[in-house]
């Protein structure tokens, strides 16, 4: 499989992180789906849809949990705006490694889906090489692009 590219315009990336930090309030996880377009191996994010916009109780357990109705709303938004889910992103309290629940319950269980994990509830500067960056391969298998590889995969700047 070709190495993926996820492109998030700089302003959207920074405001999205601020919003994740605000929604988690430093005490629980928060997350969002990134909607946009897929162009070959490139996934270009155009809009953030936060989990609690899809389900007001998404953070009630302290971790991100969504049920079928939230996904119905998500797919409806995608159809209305002619967009796809290009990635999901959520915060963790500490490091950005995938939890067992993350590995076993992908937010979108389609091969090629990208999942980002932001450490420290998105507090302070968020460096790409500190993110968890994962591509779902199917059958609960993932490719890990975290660490310095994330800088190759994730662009948080201009779309080229």
- CATH classification at residue 71: 3.40.140.10
Q: Is 134 within a domain? A: yes
Tell me how long the chain is.
160
Q: Is 27 within a domain? A: yes
Q: Is 87 within a domain? A: yes
Separation of alpha carbons 5 and 155, rounded Å: 7
If you search the block for the tokens 């975290």, which residue do you land on?
146
* Predicted confidence (pLDDT) at residue 2 exceeds the cutoff of 80: no
Provide the pLDDT confidence category of residue 160 given band limits of 50, 70 and 90. low
Q: Is 160 within a domain? A: no
Q: Is 125 within a domain? A: yes
Tens of pLDDT, residues 65-104: 999 999 999 999 999 999 999 999 999 999 999 999 999 9
Domain span at residue 107 reads 5-155
Of 106, 92, 105, 34, the C-alpha closest to 63 is 92
In order, the DSSP letters of 84-149 are EEEEEEEE-SS--PPPHHHHHS-SS-STT-EEEEESGGG-S---GGGSEEEEEEETTEEEE--GGG
Tens of pLDDT, residues 37-55: 999 889 999 999 999 999 9
Q: Is 80 within a domain? A: yes
Give every CB contact of residue 101 below 8 A, 6+ residues apart in sequence: 63
Q: Is 48 within a domain? A: yes
CB 5 within 8 A of CB 155: yes
Q: Is 86 within a domain? A: yes
Number of domains in the chain: 1
């Amino acid at each position: 499989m070709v190495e993926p590219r996820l492109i998030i315009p700089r302003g959207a990336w920074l405001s999205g992180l601020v919003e994740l930090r605000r929604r988690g309030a430093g005490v629980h996880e928060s997350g969002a789906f990134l909607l946009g377009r897929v162009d070959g191996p490139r996934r270009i994010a155009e809009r953030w849809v936060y989990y609690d916009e899809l389900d007001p109780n998404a953070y009630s357990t302290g971790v991100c949990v969504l049920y079928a109705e939230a996904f119905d709303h998500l797919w409806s938004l995608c159809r209305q705006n002619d967009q796809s889910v290009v990635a999901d992103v959520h915060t963790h309290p500490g490091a950005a490694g995938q939890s067992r629940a993350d590995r076993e319950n992908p937010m979108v269980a389609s091969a090629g889906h990208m999942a980002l994990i932001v450490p420290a509830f998105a507090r302070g500067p968020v460096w790409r090489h500190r993110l968890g960056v994962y591509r779902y391969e199917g059958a609960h298998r993932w490719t890990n692009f975290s660490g310095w590889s994330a800088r190759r995969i994730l662009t948080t700047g201009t779309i080229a």
